[in-house]
């Protein structure tokens, strides 16, 4: 009997592959919290099932040598212990095989902890298993034994550190007791602090941002009500505390022609727009007019502060910055909230011990937003889940979707899609994300509070290069500091956010003019200090640094590469000689370079637009030419094959992201604008590096005509404290300690930069010198690259390789000699083209493979946050199941009970007829039909309700308590709850009523009516409770009658 020569290889590959898949899917099961059914059970049965199966197969083959013929190779068999069952029993006794079941029971007893998992969802491998590796031969026992008994929590880390640190046993015991008593459960609750920066946003952009904040406020209120009244004081796994801060740059009108008193300057129109838009945003979310309390106005050392109490009783604070008192621009706003919210509110709180401060900082997260962002609470929760799962995670960003209209937005839609699908996913998998965009990112407080991050972020850019790196791309600079400090930055693809993108050509070019130099400067900073970064950051390896180096080379040589591509495309499509194609591309590029040197920026943009338009027409012709060439040469030609592979890769990436698949339709716009975006834009950015203005949302500059401002009081705007929009607002004040903090902070870090004319001129000269140096190096590198490649291309007939794929065979006949000749012609591939294919092909392969790994990780995260009960029937529903179901549905119940009452809802039963804002999208045609039926009765209902008094439902907490503690039945329509769960809810409701009635000052019996009138008062702020999230108390939590 002869065996296959590759049998051992096949067996080895099968064993290695099966063991690896078992290890990977075992981790997968533990991460998404299906450990009992998909990890513990199969691995525990793997050993007995394998032994039984092997014994049965061996006995069959021993009884009949032809058994299993065709299913297993004839030479592959195990030696049977006996010929029949009786002999098998005797052999088991002789060889003492009866001990094996005892060993199996001992293994089950040893691994009993795998049946009672307590890990967080989507936890890291280091938190789940003791060792990151596994044994391929005994993968089942290795995985079971490798699973941690004690989950890697803060307590476990403290125990581990204490065991490895020698110290006095008495002192250690006392310290452990005091430390455990010092840490409170409230310290571990995630504290979400929203920090948005605003400047010159439009009303539509502010509306999207405020709607997102109102939705977040409603979600937090629902979780708070569920914890307080439905879950017996126990918070759900996704509970968080919330506070919103808006830092408004240049919020006051300081022009002497409009400002009469510099101590009480008027607020600008953008702040007024924010004030007027809040109520509109609440109406858009709830579908009913929300009468929000006027904001509390406070004078501060940096300008002013407006404090709103949102319907869910969380605070939204607008910090109005006076640029004459404090340094303006986004980076300094970030310094403000870092030192105020993290330094003053946490570190300078005397009531907190150092250990409590550390725990609070680990569980405090800053959600950095732009003033035009649109997101759902679910997106924020996914980022918080990543923070809780990965301890060393310093920042996490979501999937940013550009919104707007026009071809520029279509281009950015595809660009953002490819950038997230491939580039950010690759950075996440093989290293760290280098930039977490400030429009929607979550930062861990403890990572920001590192001295090498927060302290260095306050550095004033005294050098030209530092100004480009620090001030032109502050988000990337902050991430660079985090990476150098050892923190990890991740990308969460399931967390979606929408931001307004530039819609015009000039605005887009100005935005990228800021981004491109800062991106190159920060990446070069990491590459230059690669050894230190690799040593400090466990997520960054030398291979990852090489990958970023390859991308940097491609970025720098990108214009030259596109230039050569266009030369070759013109030769192939229009059948012109290579010198003519070279000149047709050379003259537009050299003209644009000269324009960038000598002309103003508006003329540069005009010329760039004209050249981009011409290149778009050429690229359309090139696209048609490539298709024709593919039909002539076949799809296996070098150029055709590379084009098809890139197209197939992008298409597969689109199928892997089905919700974003339609972004592929914008790929045509992306393709025809490649010369503009990768050649002209790079030239424009490099030659305008000395321009450090923001470029977008710039306000018109008021020119001084030399005449004195008129002294007519009618031209003066009212001071912000006396503004008609804020006339009904209460006046508050900050504590002396906080005033002293702001004065010290401004004096040390945020004092307005008052540069003399000579200093400004020196800085401008330094920027021009840097621009000249970088531009010269940039042009020379690309020129040398183009020259070398072009000269080699001229000698293509001598310097080429034979393309071995799909050659063409020719047959010739010589009539004179009556001979038939057969020869084969290979397509030519020049060495430079081969280098291009290898270089860019390697990058595409790395990104393509990394995308699949990131998609799998995203699937893990989504499954870990999805609760599905597949194996429980109605007859098996126990009291424990009812408690579990009620806990899982408590937030939805609270959200239903706290919802404001609509205008036409005459009773409680009618409230459930109106869908929630996030339910309308799911109901589709049914919801549209229901809304049409409601509209038919609008006039009749308006007539009926015109004289009825309407209660105030602007307070979600009071809405919940009125319904929960009322005598009416709760409206639980459309909530899939078991009868036992409903009974348990009613029991808890009755118990809560009894406790509220027995408690002095408890929740009163709700009554219909109006909220009592608000009396203006002056509110002061003490520093006794600075560590609490409810710092600004303007009566937002007071219980008022209805």
More confident residue, 834 or 27: 27
**Selected residue with higher pLDDT from 1037 and 782:** 782
| pLDDT band with cut points at 50, 70 and 90 for residue 207 | very high
Dump pLDDT digits (tens) for 145-158.
Answer: 888 887 655 555 55
Higher pLDDT, 730 or 169: 730
What is the pLDDT at residue 864?
A: 83
Inform me whether the pLDDT recorded for 1026 exceeds 50. no
Higher pLDDT, 908 or 584: 584
Q: Alpha-carbon distance 483 to 468, whole Å?
A: 19
pLDDT, average across residues 110-120: 84
Which residues make Cβ contacts (< 8 Å) with residue 73, sequence separation at least 6? Answer: 3, 4, 7
3-state secondary structure at position 814: strand
504's CB contacts (< 8 A; 6+ apart) are 406, 408
pLDDT over 70, % of the chain: 84
Q: Are 266 and 258 in contact (CB under 8 A)?
A: yes
The 3-class secondary structure across 497-517, one letter per residue, is EEEECCCCHHHHHHHHHHHHH
On whether the CB atoms of residues 499 and 439 are closer than 8 A, the answer is yes
Asked whether residue 919 carries a pLDDT value surpassing 70, the answer given is: no
Q: What is the 3-state secondary structure (H, E, C) of 473-493?
A: CHHHHHHHHHHHCCCEEEEEE
Mean pLDDT confidence for 272-284:
93
Higher pLDDT, 836 or 935: 836
CA distance 854 to 857: 5
Residue 401 and residue 409 in contact, taking contact as beta carbons nearer than 8 Å: no
CA distance 821 to 807: 16
Give the range among 323-337, 487-501, 615-629, 820-834 with minimum mean pLDDT. Answer: 820-834
**pLDDT the model gives residue 931:** 56
- What is the Cα–Cα distance from 91 to 713, expressed in whole angstroms? 111
pLDDT confidence of residue 868: 65
Average pLDDT on 283-299 reads 91
Band (974; pLDDT cuts 50, 70, 90): confident
| Nearest to 677, CA basis, from 511, 439, 438 | 511
Q: Which pLDDT band holds residue 951 (cuts at 50, 70, 90)?
A: low
| Angle formed by the axes of helices 99-110 and 41-63, nearest 10° | 160
**How far is the C-alpha of 385 from the C-alpha of 864, rounded, in Å?**
10
Are 650 and 664 within 8 A, CB to CB? yes
Judge whether residue 942 has pLDDT over 80: no
CB neighbours of residue 469 within 10 Å: 23
Q: Which of 413-427, 615-629, 971-985 has the highest mean pLDDT?
A: 413-427
Q: Which H/E stretch holds residue 44?
A: helix 41-63
What is this structure's pTM?
Answer: 0.86
Q: Stretch 217-228: mean pLDDT, rounded? A: 94
Q: What is the pLDDT of residue 1002?
A: 56
Residue-level pLDDT at 233: 83
Which is more confident, 69 or 647?
647
pLDDT digits (tens, 9 = 90+) for 439-482: 999 999 999 998 889 999 999 888 888 888 888 888 999 999 99
Q: Which of 60-74, 181-195, 199-213 has the lowest mean pLDDT?
A: 60-74
Kindly state the tokens that stand for 505: 């050509």
Has residue 875 got a pLDDT over 60? Answer: no
Residue 928 — very low, low, confident or very high, per pLDDT cuts 50/70/90?
Answer: low
Residue 173 has a pLDDT of: 42
CA distance 372 to 363: 27
Cα 874 → chain centroid: 39
More confident: 69 or 841: 841
| Residue 191 contacts residue 365 (beta carbons within 8 Å) | yes
Residue 170, pLDDT above cutoff 70: no
Q: What is the pLDDT of residue 351?
A: 82
| Residues near 981 by beta carbon (within 8 Å), at least 6 away in sequence | 882, 885, 886, 889
Q: Which tokens belong to 960? A: 């919940």
Q: How much is the pLDDT for 387?
A: 93
Kindly tell me if the per-residue pLDDT of 284 is higher than 70. yes
Query: What is residue 436's predicted lDDT score, i.e. its pLDDT?
Result: 93
pLDDT of 634 reads: 77
CB atoms within 10 A of CB 754: 6
**Lowest mean pLDDT: which of 4-13, 134-143, 615-624, 690-699?**
690-699
Q: Distance between terminal CA atoms of the chain?
A: 93
Q: Identify the residue with better confidence: 815 or 605.
A: 605
- β-pair partners for 368: 195, 441
* Amino acid 154: pLDDT: 53
Q: How confident is the model at residue 970 (pLDDT cuts 50, 70, 90)?
A: confident
Is the pLDDT confidence value at 701 over 60? no
Give the model's pLDDT for residue 1029. Answer: 39
The residue to which tokens 């094996």 are assigned = 100
Query: Given this model, what pLDDT does residue 918 score?
Result: 47
pLDDT for 808 beyond 50 = yes
Out of 898-902, 929-933, 986-990, least confident range: 929-933
Q: Two tokens at 558?
A: 């990108």
Q: What is the mean pLDDT of residues 529-553?
A: 94
Q: How confident is the model at residue 494 (pLDDT cuts 50, 70, 90)?
A: very high
Beta bridge partners of 304: 299, 320
The span from the CA of 297 to the CA of 300, in Å, is 10
Residues 173, 254: Cα–Cα separation, whole Å: 61
Mean pLDDT, range 594-602, rounded to an integer: 94
Task: Mean pLDDT check: name the lowest of 379-388, 597-606, 789-798.
Answer: 789-798
For the ranges 17-21, 345-349, 832-836, 987-991, the lowest mean pLDDT is seen at: 832-836
């Amino acid at each position: 009997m002869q065996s296959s020569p590759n049998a051992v290889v096949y067996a080895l590959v099968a064993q290695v592959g099966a063991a690896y898949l078992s290890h990977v899917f075992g981790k997968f099961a533990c991460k998404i919290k299906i450990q009992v059914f998909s990890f513990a059970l199969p691995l525990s049965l793997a050993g007995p099932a394998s032994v039984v199966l092997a014994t049965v197969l061996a006995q069959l083959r021993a009884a009949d040598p032809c058994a299993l013929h065709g299913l297993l190779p004839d030479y592959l068999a195990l030696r049977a212990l006996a010929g029949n069952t009786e002999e098998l029993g005797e052999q088991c006794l002789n060889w003492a095989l009866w001990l094996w079941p005892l060993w199996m029971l001992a293994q089950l007893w040893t691994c009993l902890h795998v049946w009672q998992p307590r890990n967080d969802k989507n936890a890291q491998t280091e938190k789940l298993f003791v060792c990151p590796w596994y044994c391929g031969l005994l993968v089942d026992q290795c995985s079971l034994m490798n699973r941690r008994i004690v989950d890697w929590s803060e307590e476990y880390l403290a125990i581990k550190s204490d065991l490895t640190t020698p110290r006095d046993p008495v002192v250690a015991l006392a310290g452990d007791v005091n430390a455990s008593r010092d840490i409170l459960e409230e310290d571990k609750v995630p504290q979400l602090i929203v920090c948005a920066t605003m400047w010159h946003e439009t009303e539509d952009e502010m509306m999207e941002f405020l709607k997102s904040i109102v939705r977040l406020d409603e979600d937090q209120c629902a979780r708070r009500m569920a914890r307080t009244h439905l879950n017996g004081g126990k918070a759900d796994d996704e509970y968080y505390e919330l506070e919103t801060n808006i830092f408004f740059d240049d919020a006051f009108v300081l022009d002497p022609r409009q400002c009469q008193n510099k101590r009480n300057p008027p607020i600008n129109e953008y702040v007024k727009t924010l004030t007027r838009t809040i109520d509109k945003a609440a109406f858009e979310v709830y579908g009913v007019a929300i009468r929000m309390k006027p904001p509390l106005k406070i004078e501060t050392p940096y300008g002013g502060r407006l404090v709103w109490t949102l319907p869910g009783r969380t605070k939204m604070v607008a910090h109005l910055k006076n640029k004459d008192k404090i340094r303006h621009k986004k980076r300094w706003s970030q310094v403000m909230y870092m030192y105020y919210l993290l330094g003053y509110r946490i570190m300078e709180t005397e009531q907190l011990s150092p250990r409590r401060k550390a725990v609070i900082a680990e569980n405090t997260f800053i959600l950095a937003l732009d003033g035009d962002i649109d997101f759902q609470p679910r997106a924020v929760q996914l980022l918080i889940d990543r923070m809780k799962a990965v301890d060393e995670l310093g920042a996490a960003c979501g999937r940013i979707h550009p919104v707007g209209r026009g071809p520029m937005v279509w281009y950015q839609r595809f660009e953002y899609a490819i950038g997230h699908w491939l580039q950010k996913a690759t950075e996440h998998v093989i290293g760290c994300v280098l930039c977490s965009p400030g429009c929607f990112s979550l930062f861990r407080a403890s990572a920001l509070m590192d001295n090498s991050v927060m302290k260095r972020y306050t550095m004033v850019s005294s050098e030209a290069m530092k100004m480009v790196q620090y001030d032109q791309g502050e988000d990337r600079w902050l991430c660079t500091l985090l990476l150098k400090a050892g923190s990890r930055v991740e990308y969460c693809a399931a967390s979606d956010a929408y931001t307004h993108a530039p819609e015009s050509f000039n605005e887009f070019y100005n935005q990228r003019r800021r981004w491109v130099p800062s991106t190159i400067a920060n990446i070069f900073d990491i590459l230059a200090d690669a050894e230190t970064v690799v040593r400090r950051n466990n997520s960054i390896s030398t291979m990852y640094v090489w990958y970023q180096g390859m991308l940097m080379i491609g970025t720098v040589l990108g214009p030259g590469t596109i230039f050569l591509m266009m030369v070759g495309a013109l030769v192939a499509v229009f059948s012109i000689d290579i010198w003519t194609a070279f000149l047709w591309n050379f003259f537009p590029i050299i003209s644009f370079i000269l324009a960038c040197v000598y002309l103003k920026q508006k003329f540069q943009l005009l010329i760039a637009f004209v050249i981009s338009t011409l290149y778009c027409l050429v690229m359309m012709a090139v696209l048609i030419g490539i298709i024709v060439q593919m039909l002539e040469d076949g799809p296996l030609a070098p150029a055709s094959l590379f084009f098809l592979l890139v197209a197939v890769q992008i298409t597969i990436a689109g199928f892997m992201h089905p919700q974003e698949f339609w972004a592929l339709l914008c790929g045509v716009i992306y393709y025809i604008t490649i010369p503009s975006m990768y050649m002209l834009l790079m030239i424009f950015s490099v030659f305008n590096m000395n321009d450090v203005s923001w470029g977008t949302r710039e306000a018109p500059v008021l020119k001084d005509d030399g005449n004195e401002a008129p002294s007519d009081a009618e031209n003066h705007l009212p001071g912000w404290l006396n503004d008609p929009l804020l006339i009904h607002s209460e006046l508050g004040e900050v504590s002396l300690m906080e005033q002293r903090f702001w004065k010290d902070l401004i004096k040390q870090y945020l004092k307005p930069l008052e540069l003399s004319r000579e200093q400004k001129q020196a800085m401008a000269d330094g920027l021009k010198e840097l621009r000249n140096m970088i531009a010269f190096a940039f042009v020379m590198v690309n020129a040398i690259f183009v020259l070398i490649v072009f000269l080699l291309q001229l000698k293509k007939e001598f310097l080429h390789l034979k393309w071995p794929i799909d050659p063409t065979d020719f047959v010739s006949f010589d009539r004179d000699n009556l001979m038939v000749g057969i020869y084969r012609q290979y397509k030519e591939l020049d060495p430079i083209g081969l280098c291009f294919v290898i270089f860019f092909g390697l990058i595409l392969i790395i990104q393509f493979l990394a995308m699949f790994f990131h998609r799998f990780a995203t699937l893990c995260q989504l499954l870990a946050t999805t609760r599905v009960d597949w194996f429980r029937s109605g007859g098996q529903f126990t009291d424990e199941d009812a408690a579990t179901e009620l806990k899982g549905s408590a937030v939805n119940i609270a959200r239903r009970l706290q919802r404001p009452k609509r205008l036409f809802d005459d009773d409680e039963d009618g409230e459930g007829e109106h869908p929630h804002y996030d339910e309308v999208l799911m109901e589709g045609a049914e919801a549209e039909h229901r809304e049409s039926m409601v509209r038919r009765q609008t006039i009749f209902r308006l007539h009926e309700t015109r004289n009825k008094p309407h209660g105030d439902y602007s307070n979600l907490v009071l809405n919940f308590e009125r319904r929960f503690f009322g005598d009416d039945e709760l409206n639980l329509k459309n909530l899939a709850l078991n009868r036992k769960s409903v009974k348990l809810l009613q029991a808890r409701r009755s118990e809560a009523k009894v406790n509220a009635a027995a408690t002095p000052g408890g929740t009163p019996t709700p009554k219909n009516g109006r909220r009592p009138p608000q009396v203006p008062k002056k509110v002061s702020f003490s520093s006794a409770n600075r560590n609490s999230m409810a710092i600004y108390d303007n009566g937002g939590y007071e219980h008022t009658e209805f």
